[in-house]
Chains A and B, each alone.
Chain A
Amino acid sequence: MRTYLLRRCLYMLLILLGASLLIFFLFSLTPGDYVDNNLSLSEERKAELREIYGLNKPVFERYVNWMGNLLQGDLGYSLAQQRPVAQLIQDYIWNSFLLAVVATFFTWFIAVIIGVITAYKQYSLFDTLVMIGIFAAMSIPSFFIGLFLIKVFAVDLKILPPGGMITTGSRAEGWDYIVEVMNHMVLPVAVMVLLGVGSLARYLRSNVLEVIKQDYVRTARAKGLKERTVLYRHALKNAMLPAITLVGFELPGLFSGSIIIEKIFNWPGIGQLYLQSFTVRDYPLLMGFTMLLAVLTVIGTLLSDILYHASDPRVKL
């Protein structure tokens, strides 16, 4: 176990180094740089600015500089936003995380329930209806559902806020603040759950279906256990095993933000900022955030391996 972890960590470092090289060179190969973005600059001024920003140096030298700063814990300074990258990420990422973590929780919770029931009552009316609903929800574009919900609940019925994270100008604090944020989260979370629950429920359903036909389930029933116990303790537990690997892969998704949802619901998340920084070629912010996601992805895969081992001792690391 220990040597495994050590070896994995070494690989992780190599992977990250490779990823950083790849990302850096990809970004510097995309046409146009930060200075080009401003059409009203004269060529002389552009040259002056490239000198100030260090954009006139060879790509490799820029990479070494950037990596050197990174190793000292300095993510750099955003050209467009005029603030340190680390601080910017701090400001926005937790808003995205809050939304994602709540949505993921509900997605899994609902998907597990649906998965089990639909598998248990395969081909029943409930199964058919739920599957239709799920496919419908999956196939409608998120911006449509989002705008539709806003129209119904915020504009027409006026029972939920139309967007944002707090009511504009609100001076609520403490508990009132929490209630306000929860209120604003209802619609975006609902859309994210609607979109995400389908595939997961399908996945769990097929797993449960497979497990439910196994001998040990029949044995459990034969022992006279209650149906509920059979289903949730014996069948579900085993059906969940393959799904556990998915948990690790969800990790980067929790932090990456959702560009469309954030835009529709005016949520102050990082997805927006990221897209914006790409359009203006704000390299420090782009690199800083992409690397953060790379780190999270690598950690996520490690986590899912460990989880898998922990939940299923048959799996050797």
Chain B
Amino acid sequence: MKKQRYIAFVLLLILSLLMAACSSGSSANEPADSSDPGSSNETSAETPSEPQAAALTERLAASDLSKLPDRAKQRDDTIIVSLVNPSGAFTPYFTQVGYDGNVNSVLYTPLVKVDPNGLPVPGLAERWEISEDGLTYTYYLREGLKYSDGSPMTAEDVAFTWTLLHDPSYDGINTVVESRIVGGQDYKDGKADAIEGIQVIDERTISVTLEETNATALTVLGGQILSKAYYGKDYTFGNLDYIKDLHANPITNGPYKLERFIPGQEVRFVANEHYVFGKPKTEYFIYKTSEGDTWQFVETGEVDYGSFTATEDNLERLTGLGFLDLIPSTASNYGYNQLNLERDHLQDKRVRQALTYGLDRQLIYVEARQGAGQLANIPSSPILWSYTEEDINPYPYDPEKAKELLDEAGWVVGADGIREKDGQKLRINYLGSKSESTDIFIAVASENYAEIGVDFVPEQFPDFNTLSAKVRNGDYDMASFSTTIISDPSQGVFRFTKGQTPGYDNPVIDDLYAKSLATSDIEERKAIYHEMFKILNDELPVMFTSYSKQIVAINGRIGGFELNPLSGIGFSLADWELK
């Protein structure tokens, strides 16, 4: 008996050592290759013990292509990229899951593309004209446009696509309708058979007139175009159900066409020989579904491309693999802490500023995330043309300044160390998602806010809808969110216009917002946005927090990749080439 116990003990010991040894080796990481509106940005973060190592600032080429795994070497006509989980609705404008949008950006090329800085560049339209009054847009299509079945694409298809989206039973993204085409509402209400503002001039020319100027209209209307012959043949006003049957067999006009969709596993594409810019250089392309960890697939060469949070650990591990080109990338969205402006204490600008000064954002969003973040002080990503740091208050961590501001606002420290005003305590009820980054936020914020005399009461929710329902009901003081991908700066400031953020109403912002859309001149718009950013940075209707940073890892033998966080890989995919 004694001997047996002894053996058992030794076995246990070995087992526990084994566990300790490998627990550091396998950390999970989410790919950020999507524009899914519901997904929050989760970042794996650990408390930093070392000083900041050199972060990735520019493209780092693969150091040793001989390390390329056999699995990748054997694949000479196929490129594989991982994608979380497309659902199979491969009709643009009719997708509900963001990942289907990724698939559609491979299947379709829009009339007007968006370059890495957010500026419009020709896609299937070779050029366009905007009338003097900024209300009429004329698109000139390229010569020889064809759909994947060989049928020609003409201005009629463009008119059809725009019209279809005005159908009253349409339930998808509504930006085309919100551009307010003349006669669009009449069509939607069933008062007109066609939309008055859309004019097909000839086979390759189409013009559209808007009710009011809108600088985003050029790219919104210049989107992906459906084939009228295919998607329009069963169309009757008020019923779009037939489109659901066409999701699985799309007729497209992008670099690749759909070969096969295997639910939960892969979307297979084959090069489109009818593509207007010539057949892509690589015959096959695959989006591989990967819900969980992508590390193992990148390491074994099963996928050629992955996106990782830009932590030092990840950088080190990716560099160690040797066969990957690494490209730093900043997401085109921003994180913010929404403040309940309908509550008295937060209506005071000084309190909002104090809460920002009094929080060590550098520690929370940059250092604790191992450099995978950058502080945000305005509602625009640094990669957009609208970004500026000029005259922008960076709100460095400064508890003294915060205390000063709170004193000024009339909040005096009470007997228990918590500030009071008119018998009311300065309390912040915070709502956040259940994630590691929120844990860090709460740990730091509790300490920081205690120091400046604010009672910080955090609450975490594992479920996003529950959290947003609570926020909608106004049952909070502060809540963490991040925006969806922003490709035009107007999308970043829209939430501050009249009626969008309860309790915030600034006519100057409304006025500037209207002006920023009234012109298409980029320099003019830049000046307007800078003015808006200055105001928002000072008034802080929300507390701006951070921009998240990623590392894009792509197999070193692939040439022709161009990073474009705004349009995704569809932007350069046609040029990807296996060397």
Contact = CB atoms under 8 A, between A and B. Distances in A.
A144 B19 contact: yes
Given A36-B468, A168-B303, A81 B291 contact: no
A45 B173 CA distance: 10
Contact of B468 (A39, A88, A268): A39
A81 B465 contact: no
B87 A83 contact: yes
- Which of A36, A169, A281 has the most chain B CB within a 10 Å cutoff? A169
Nearest to B12: A132
A81 B268 CA distance: 18
A164 B23 contact: no
A307 to B, nearest CB: 33
A284 interface: no
Interface string B262-279: 111110100000000000
A172 to B, nearest CB: 13
B265 A31 contact: no
Contact of B484 (A30, A40, A45): A40
Nearest to A272: B291
B289 A268 contact: yes
A17 to B, nearest CB: 28
Nearest to B88: A83
A36 B465 contact: yes
A136 B14 CA distance: 12
A247 interface: no
B296 A163 contact: yes
A80 B297 CA distance: 27
B38 A82 contact: no
Contacts of A140: 19
A120 interface: no
Given A151-B26, A162-B302, A263-B292, A38 B37 contact: yes
Interface in A140-182: 140, 143-144, 147-148, 150-151, 154-155, 158, 161-169
Contacts of A88: 263
Contacts of B26: 147-148, 150-151
Contacts of A263: 291-292
A83 B247 CA distance: 9
A268 B300 contact: no
Interface stretch (B90-98, B157-165, B206-214, B535-543): B90-98
A148 B19 CA distance: 9
A158 B264 CA distance: 24
Contact of A280 (B38, B88, B94): B38
B288 A82 contact: no
Contacts of A80: 87, 96-97
Nearest to A78: B87
Interface stretch (B3-11, B354-362, B411-419): B3-11
A68 B378 CA distance: 52
A32 B247 contact: no
Interface residues on B, range: 35 or more
A258 B22 CA distance: 24
A168 B469 contact: no
A276 B85 contact: yes
B506 interface: no
A266 B12 CA distance: 31
B351 to A, nearest CB: 25
B207 to A, nearest CB: 27
Interface string B300-334: 10110000000000000000000000000000000
A136 B469 contact: no
A274 interface: no
Given A166-B265, A273-B264, A49 B291 contact: no
B502 to A, nearest CB: 11
B495 to A, nearest CB: 9
Contact of B293 (A32, A147, A165, A272): A147
B390 interface: no
Interface string B235-272: 00000000010010000000000000011111010000
B96 A31 contact: no
Interface in A24-53: 30-33, 36-41, 45, 49, 52-53
A82 B265 contact: no
Contacts of A83: 87-89, 244, 247
A38 B465 CA distance: 10
- Which of A37, A82, A263 has the most chain B CB within a 10 Å cutoff? A82
A193 to B, nearest CB: 18
Nearest to B464: A279
Nearest to A37: B38
A264 interface: yes
A95 interface: yes
Nearest to B97: A80
B75 interface: yes
Contacts of A125: 4, 7
B529 interface: no
B15 interface: yes
Given A39-B37, A83-B88, A168 B264 contact: no
A317 interface: no
Contacts of B97: 80-82
Interface string A251-276: 00000000000111010110011001
A79 B262 CA distance: 20
Given A147-B293, A154-B296, A272-B85, A91 B95 contact: no
A39 to B, nearest CB: 6
A92 B80 contact: no
Contacts of B463: 30, 279
Given A52-B171, A162-B296, A279 B4 contact: no
Interface in A227-262: 262
A162 B19 contact: no
B171 A154 contact: no
Nearest to B296: A162
B85 A38 contact: no
A276 B262 CA distance: 18
Contact of A266 (B87, B88, B263, B291): B291
Given A38-B37, A38-B38, A128-B4, A49 B96 contact: no
A33 B19 CA distance: 42
Interface string B1-43: 0001101100110010001001101101000000001100000
Interface string A76-100: 0111111100001001100100000
B85 A49 contact: no
Contacts of B185: none
A168 B465 contact: no
B481 interface: yes
Contact of A164 (B265, B284, B472): B265
Contacts of A95: 264
A32 B463 CA distance: 10
22 contacts: A30-B463, A32-B465, A32-B466, A36-B468, A37-B464, A38-B37, A39-B483, A41-B174, A45-B174, A80-B87, A80-B96, A82-B100, A83-B247, A92-B263, A132-B8, A144-B19, A162-B299, A168-B302, A169-B75, A263-B291, A272-B264, A273-B264
Given A83-B244, A154-B296, A155-B300, 11 more contacts: A36-B469, A38-B37, A78-B87, A82-B96, A92-B264, A132-B11, A147-B26, A163-B297, A263-B292, A266-B290, A272-B291
Closest 8 CB pairs of A and B: A268-B264, A32-B465, A31-B469, A82-B89, A162-B296, A147-B26, A81-B87, A263-B292
